Amino acid sequence: MKFYSLFFAFLLCAIVGLIGCSSKEISQPQSNLNPVQRGKAMFEMSMIGENKAPGCIVCHSLEAGKTLVGPSLAGIATYAETAVPGMSAEEFLRQAILEPDQHQMEGYPAGVMYQEYGQDLSQEDIEALVAFMLTLK
């Protein structure tokens, strides 16, 4: 009898724990990651941020030449270096998240990329995404 109630208590904890974890995992990466790892984890989530915005990977592949809704972001750090004269790669990539329509990639439509990341994501999240994209040379 005692064994069973202990067993059920354990099972209940496990279930609650699992639900807790999985709903968090949808939009928040683990907290013990460095910025690049955090950015990568966020990039690969299907939903990110407070409002469960679509994740980057929904529209951007990391495989060269593979177009989803948006362009592949393989090599985006190199592209970002010269995309806008006078703008550093870091500034360009930050703006690409915060104001997607300030700059258009040739051959892709405006207004398609999700526009509200500036409201939905924390400063830390945005910097992590920028740090990760800077590694995509």
Binding site for ligand HEC (CB under 6 A): 54, 56, 58-60, 69-71, 73, 76, 93, 96-97, 100, 103-105, 108, 112-114, 117, 129
Closer Cβ to ligand HEC, 30 or 115, answer by number: 115
Residues 25-32: contacts with CB under 8 Å, at least 24 apart: 26/52, 27/52
Cα separation, 43 vs 30, in Å, equals: 13
Question: Cβ of residue 112: shortest distance to ligand HEC, in angstroms?
Answer: 4
Closer Cβ to ligand HEC, 1 or 121, answer by number: 121
Closer Cβ to ligand HEC, 12 or 66, answer by number: 66
Does residue 74 contact residue 80 with C-beta atoms inside 8 Å?
no
Cα separation, 36 vs 51, in Å, equals: 23
